Amino acid sequence: MAIVRPYEPPPDYPLDDRPSTVYSNPVYRNPRLYSSPSTHSHYDMIRTRQYPEIAGLSTQDRTPSLRSFSSRGGEGREAGNNNNQIPTRHPQQRQWSSSSTTSFHDTPFCPSRLNPNLRNTPSRAETDRLSQVSGWTSSGVASSPSPSPSLLLRSAVHSPLRSESQQSTTYRKTLRKSCPDLNESREEERRRRRMKKREEREWAKKDLMKWRLDDVILWLQEIGEEEWASLLIGYEIKGEDVAKWDEEALAKFGIDDIATRRKILSERDKMIKKKGGKERTSLFDIITRANGDQVVVVETPLTVRDLIVSRHSSGCLAVQKVAGSNLPLEEDDCLLEVNSVPGEQFTSPLMLTKLISDSGGRPIRFVVLRRARLCVHPEEEITRDSSSGVSSSSPVHHSNEKLYSLDRCGANRMRIGRWAGFRFFPSPLHSQKSLAHSRPVALLREHMDRDSIDPTLSVFCHGSLLHSVQTARLFPDSKHFVDMPLTADPDVILDRWARLNEKGDVDEETLVHFVSQYFDEPGSELECIYPTDFKDKIDSFLSLRTPFKEWAEQIHGKWPVLTRRVKEEILERSNRCTLIPLPYPFVVPGGRFRELYYWDSFFTIKGLLVSKMYETARGMILNMKSLIDRFGFVPNGNRLYYLNRSQPPLLTWCLNAYFESTGDTDFLREILPTLIKELHFFDLHRSIIVDGSTVPLYHHKVIARGPRPESYREDMHTAANVPEEDRNRLYGDIAAAAESGRDFSSRWASHANTFHLHNTRTQDFLPVDLNSIICMNLRLISNMFITLEEHENAAEYDRRSKEMKEEIRRLFWSESQGMWFDFDLRSNKRSHRFYDSHLLPLYADIVHEDFDLTRVIDYLNRNGLISEPGGIPSSTVATGEQWDYPNAWAPIMWIIIQGLRKNGAMELSRNLTAKWLTRILNEWRRSGGKMFEKYDVTSFCGREKARGGEYEVQEGFGWTNGVVLDLLMTYPDIEPTNQECPCCQAN
């Protein structure tokens, strides 16, 4: 009696994907396998020997059992055979003769890996064992009526008339012929192994910058560093990180062995070189080979028809023709980088065409190398392109020759512009939308790959040494370290630092010893000198009232204390410090500010002119000229770490003030081209055209790659909670705020009441003061051309000044409020928050024709800005920053007072002067003769100190001294305010 029970396959076998209970493996789904009786026999034999459980043989008694499957995949049943009988089947029959038949139309189970011994001839012992279990004799005679096909095949193969080798060969051939999937299974296995190896080597085909963590680990295993590969599990490491690895980074992962670290870095460099086919050409070599002298970053949308490019000798693509209108790209521009992809990777113009096509109208960022059009031979014939208004002649740049003077260039304004490096803006007929979105955003003079040729920057501006010193807080002020001169060449210092790091982590004691050994004290690269034009007594002070007379003499006596000159040895070894050498002595602000500062210099020069120190004032102007000749602009200060930003461009004001005091026409003629050159920098790299206009306006914009070196800790703290991908943008906004001169203020944030420095977005604002300054510069340059009888050039700059004046009224002036406000580019509206610099249009003489000054005064009264006892505060919001309430600063107070005076508010101007001077005088008395950079205007007794900022209030102070002396000469009969101080009343 047969016992029927459900078939239960072993749990290790995979399930068939069909709704059948038959368990199969995809390897054996070849229908040819079951096309002949011999196939079934071999399948039976193979299945029984390799997996007896599937054949129905239990592990204890090996008793065979029969399975019944419906041809339609029905439920399987298993029956025990107590009589040790198996179904009879003739070798030529295709179906089992027993009633309990198994149809193999459904694919049965077969293991994916077969025993390789099955291809060999079975031994006699195995045959006897099978015959005993199944009831067959070794000779192939069955005890049951019908012999098994598998044993019949065995009998045919193992005939005694054949040799052993012939039997084995015949068996293998028969097996391959009757069961071809055995060969296929092996090929499938080989293919699977090859696919696995190929997949494991996929990292070798990928670009390094596209690697994931798995790729990094597989690469480390490939180079024999399995132990260290396991250390990286858990880190979010990508190919971008591998490209930046150095020995210091690997040491942080716990790879202490120096040889291992160097091996990993060496293998990485070899792989990069192998992938590139050749070693990457440095930007320095590309720029040198391409014979260009200006690197410009532009951002503009393009269509595939706007540009025609071709391969350049530098290895990058070059612009052959600009077909589009008003694009910031020019012919012969070498594309060093496109959307952060190195230009060398664009091996065909079609690659750029595809990138432009895929951009879908979005702006594309280019870093291009071009030849700056700075000067032209006077004999060169100049033709004007009517479509763009720019000369079409090819200028010749002479790097070893001075620029031609104005009189040699003649009266042609285009010749002047080309010679001075100035590009005139297109006429209003051009597309406004194209101009609004096609704007250059940065310029790096000389070489873009600057760090690779100046090791001084690797010491003071970035790198592990700067990071270690600043984060260890060896000095209270971050600026202290970056102002320290080196005692050896920077490459020697970097080598010693690298050797020190090879020994392991540098502790604080070792770091202090290293800094004390290789660095000198800040300021030691400068020497204090006595100005040759300094006079002990100034006759104009005799007309002042007491106590202002004695006070003015004391301030006048501070000029020798603040005058500096670069030491001779620094001129010979300028690479040992961050100071940029200047040819003439200069006046420093004082305190931590040991160098010349740009916009400070105008207010200092105003004081020097009062003190009759004309040579010192002239030397400071020439110093700024030398900086423009070298860098194209005046940096924030003459330090290397200030080279990514400028400050409000007041050199035009400086020259105008000097000319008004001396009448030196020759000096005016000498410096005027420098003013045009600086204006060209702001036109090209700080300008923007708002939709609906064709007149350029200006904003502060800085491209930064990390924290400011002089405020390293402070910037890192500010950006601590900002996503890493947004930090460079924030660093740029912070540096742009420093370029504005107002670092820091709620002015550069979206919401003043919830202000925090990480919300700074300086580059999104068009500031009133910067645009007023440049508009005034255009008018002053026009007046200077009139003085030099260059009337055509004077008319051109006068036209630009008037156009910009109207644009300032349209965007900045609020008719409802009666005040100018900054324009927010992000929200496309005015900010409607007051800051003292919003009054600068009064001094710049750019008020509109129907302007009513009483409206501005009413605004000041409504907001309580005039009622403060010490002057007008920087803002109405107290945020704790130094350019917010309650502080006031000498330069802006001077501009406000002079602006009110220019527009007829004489009484208000005089009253503010008395308040401001009394406030400074009282603190000068209380502090024992000290002049400070800023003051708290909520009192004028000196009891309340100014506060806020990244450092303590500094004493000196250059621009405060200059403003006080100039205001005393403006109102020589003024007397101190006698009103009682609110601070004193409270106490």
**Residues recognised as catalytic:** 743, 933
Strand ordering across the sheet containing 563-566: 526-528, 563-566, 586-587
| Distance of alpha carbon 610 from alpha carbon 153, whole angstroms | 122
| Distance of alpha carbon 229 from alpha carbon 223, whole angstroms | 10
| Distance of alpha carbon 905 from alpha carbon 348, whole angstroms | 66
For residue 298, report the phi and psi dihedrals to the nearest 5 degrees: -125, 155
The terminus-to-terminus CA distance of the chain in angstroms comes to 117
Distance of CA 480 to the CA centre of its chain: 26
**Two structure tokens written together for 406:** 């104005």
Integer Rg of the chain from CA: 43
| Distance of alpha carbon 168 from alpha carbon 118, whole angstroms | 11
CA distances from 145 to 101, 460, 788 (A): 17, 100, 130
Looking at residue 670, its amino acid is E
Nearest to 68 by CA among 56, 85, 50: 56
Q: Which helix (H) or strand (E) holds 913?
A: helix 906-926
Cα-Cα-Cα-Cα dihedral of 943, 946, 948, 950, to 10°? Answer: -110
| Distance of alpha carbon 318 from alpha carbon 723, whole angstroms | 36
Interior CA angle at 412 toward 409 and 413, to 5°?
Answer: 105
Residue 744: is the preceding peptide bond cis (ω within 30°)? yes
| Distance of alpha carbon 672 from alpha carbon 625, whole angstroms | 10
| 3-state SS class at 321 | strand
**Two structure tokens written together for 634:** 């005046």
| Distance of alpha carbon 760 from alpha carbon 602, whole angstroms | 27
- Burial string for 27-47 (b: 16+ CB within 10 Å, else e) reads bbeeeebbebbbbbbbbbbbb
Task: Tell me if 288 sits within 8 A of 298, measured CB to CB.
Answer: no
| Distance of alpha carbon 956 from alpha carbon 932, whole angstroms | 6
Residue 26: is the preceding peptide bond cis (ω within 30°)? no
- Residue 525, strand partner residues: none
Chain position carrying tokens 């409206």:
855
For the beta carbon of residue 546, count every other beta carbon within 10 angstroms: 9
What is the DSSP secondary-structure string of 279-295?
Answer: PPPPHHHHHHHHT--EE
Start-end of H helices in 573-638: 598-610, 614-631
Strands annotated E in 598-736: 687-688, 697-698
Chain position carrying tokens 């790729």:
215
| Distance of alpha carbon 131 from alpha carbon 141, whole angstroms | 10
| 3-state SS class at 649 | coil
| Distance of alpha carbon 398 from alpha carbon 380, whole angstroms | 14
| Distance of alpha carbon 369 from alpha carbon 333, whole angstroms | 6
Chain position carrying tokens 């005139």:
424
Chain position carrying tokens 């300032």:
808
